[in-house]
Amino acid sequence: MIGRFFLSATLAVLAAPALACGPDALGVARELPVGGGVAVGLKTYPRTLALADKELVLTFDDGPNPPTTAKVLDALKAECVKATFFLIGKNAESAPAMVKREIAEGHTIAHHSYSHPAVTLRNLPLEAAKADVDRGMEQDDKAAFGAWSGQTRSPFFRYPGFGDSPALNDWLQKRGVSLFGADLWASDWLPMSADQELKLLLARIQKQRKGIVLMHDIKKNTAEMLPRLLRELKKRGYKIVHIVPGPAAPALASAPAGWFSETERALAHTWPKAPPGMGAAAAGKAKAAPGPL
């Protein structure tokens, strides 16, 4: 009995920081382990995580960028919300303290290549693309965990600009890396005010009601509107699901009839003269993508 009492008391103490947010905080409704090298996110793939109505997974790309990433982390902390950060390796390399803060505050770190090539990874020669992915994972892990074992501790990846390829997918999935697209996004790569971004994203969430949400923690407007977004999600009864690396594939939901890859259409539009497999030199001359980053 005494042992049980001490265990309960210890757990109560350990749980105390979460209570600092108060009962009105948005919080995390559940943790969802993801493994098995799945490829999810309806913008790109014909399946996604099986989420319940009004469940959202929050993800942020392209960081860390200390001034804006710190604000995003502050906003998440104030609401006891956990998110997933798809890091650019060279940013992690130059701002490791910010990556360590993400880990310390309970977030998941994930990978988004080393250099975020403007032409996308699919338009690089295969070996160059693989090298960029590996270098990114190494720098992210070094920043997050202080070490690189040759295999990432966080096998989650999102392609820059959603520019995947069958060969890269196969290579990553065989290594157990799960591929994340998105179900909806903030379009925060487009010029708009924080108010406009908040309104647009909330309207999309209300319409779709659940899914993996993509934002960018490098964007000032996103950092600015995030506290209001989280408050509004709480008011409207949304629940946050925190994805973490897991041992097996999670339950998945298939795309509805009539599904098509929105990102594939955007890529075809963005790169009319840059078919997959083009040489690196030619690819380097292509214009930067105006689409999803």
- Which residues contribute to the site for Zn ion (CB under 5 A)? 61-62, 160, 293
Residue 276: CB minimum distance to Zn ion, A: 19
If the CB atoms of residues 112 and 239 are measured against Zn ion, the closer one turns out to be 112
If the CB atoms of residues 64 and 79 are measured against Zn ion, the closer one turns out to be 64
Cα separation values, 176 from 34, 44, 97, 154, 251, Å: 10, 19, 27, 10, 16
Is 111 designated active site? no
Q: Whole-angstrom Cα distance, residue 192 to residue 281?
A: 33
> Do 117 and 163 touch, CB atoms closer than 8 A?
no
If the CB atoms of residues 45 and 157 are measured against Zn ion, the closer one turns out to be 157
List beta partners, residue 84. Answer: 59, 108
> Do 121 and 162 touch, CB atoms closer than 8 A?
no
Position of tokens 């390829």? 165
Residue 293: CB minimum distance to Zn ion, A: 4
Which residue is catalytic, options 61, 62, 132, 217? 61
> Do 160 and 113 touch, CB atoms closer than 8 A?
yes
User: What is the number of the residue whose Cβ is closest to Zn ion?
Assistant: 293
Q: Whole-angstrom Cα distance, residue 56 to residue 258?
A: 23
Residue 86: CB minimum distance to Zn ion, A: 7
Residue 214: CB minimum distance to Zn ion, A: 9
| CA proximity to 24, closest of 81, 83, 106, 107 | 81
What are the E-state strand segments in 171-271?
A: 178-180, 184-185, 211-216, 239-245, 252-254
If the CB atoms of residues 118 and 131 are measured against Zn ion, the closer one turns out to be 118
Residue 209: CB minimum distance to Zn ion, A: 25
Is 195 designated active site? no
If the CB atoms of residues 18 and 288 are measured against Zn ion, the closer one turns out to be 288
Which residue is catalytic, options 107, 112, 216, 242? 216
Catalytic residues: 61, 216
